[in-house]
Amino acid sequence: CTGSAIFDLKAKGAKTGIADRALKPMLGIIDPLNTRSMPTQVRLASGLDVLCHAIESYTAIPYHMRGPAPENPLQRPAYQGANPISDIWSSHALRMVAEALPRAVMDPSDTAAQDTMTLAAAYAGIGFGNGGVHLMHGCSYGISGLNRAYAHPEYPDDHPLCPHGISVAVTSPAVAEFTGSMNPDRHLEIAQVLGANVTNARREDAGSVLADALRGFLERLGVPDGISAFGYSSADIPALVESILPQHRVLKLSPRQTGAEQIATILERSLKNY
């Protein structure tokens, strides 16, 4: 349901991706039986990726704010920005993940939660396959690509490995703080879905409200405490920024203009989350 292929670009020390309509599959088989033997940490990382797919595509720059439309629709990029179609899939996937992911992680025998997560992955895939993702994914490519020592539990330990969904999720609170001002109502809506009481929340606090909701959600699931858990410190941030900046495919979908200074701030704020 997406038109992207992700790979390691070792010369740049980063993961990156290419996107094209020709990469979109003609047929997809959604079979939750394939997830039954997943180790818990694989289930967690996969589910967090789905969560961030939904959040990012729902909060991406709106499609009508991306600039002049190309003369030929075939020249439009694969990722359009948030739009009425992607919103439907992403917002529904978000609600499914908020309810089912904790159950799927905490109870390996909860096959109903596994089924829901499998379907949520497809829904979020359709959402971000049209709308796109932005800063959480953009930062993740540098975080995982420059990892030199961290090996996540229940994954192969013969080489350093920071699972994609984990590397995406650890910057989600700081990204929410950064993007909250651009669409506060959506940020508050997501926070409420994740369990926050937003009754008296102010729109100007939407980013921090969602950031706190994400921190609580991630901590309850046992997600590592920020990028310092992977061995990074403030001294590593310039190299991480350099690795992240070329990810134009996703960074351009940020609802706020984003450069080296903004990415550095997000990373600094993501050293510790709890």
Q: What is the pLDDT of residues 208-229, one digit of tens each?
A: 999 999 999 999 999 999 999 9
- Supply the mean pLDDT for the chain: 94
pLDDT at 108 over 90: yes
pTM: 0.94
| Residue 1 confidence class, pLDDT cut points 50, 70, 90 | low
Segment 238-242 shows an average pLDDT of 96
User: Sorting pLDDT into bands at 50, 70 and 90, what band is 268?
Assistant: very high
Residue of 258, 227, 234 lying closest to 245 (CA atoms): 258
- Mapping DSSP onto H, E and C, the string for 51-103 reads HHHHHHHHHCCEHHHCCCCCCCHHHCCCCCCECHHHHHHHHHHHHHHHHHHHH
Return the closest-CA partner of residue 270 out of 241, 242, 243: 241
pLDDT for 6 equals 81
pLDDT at residue 19, rounded to an integer: 76
pLDDT in tens, 31-61: 999 999 999 999 999 999 999 999 999 999 9
For residues 192-198, average pLDDT: 98
pLDDT mean over 234-252: 94
Element (H, E) at 7: strand 4-9
* Mean pLDDT for the stretch of residues 158-186: 97
The pLDDT value given to residue 78: 79
Answer whether 115's CB lies under 8 Å from 63's CB: no
Whether the per-residue pLDDT at 77 is higher than 90: the answer is no
The rounded percent of the chain whose pLDDT value lies above 90 is 83
pLDDT for 75: 82
Which of 104, 127, 156 lies closest to 52, judged by CA? 127
Residue % of the chain over a pLDDT of 70 = 99
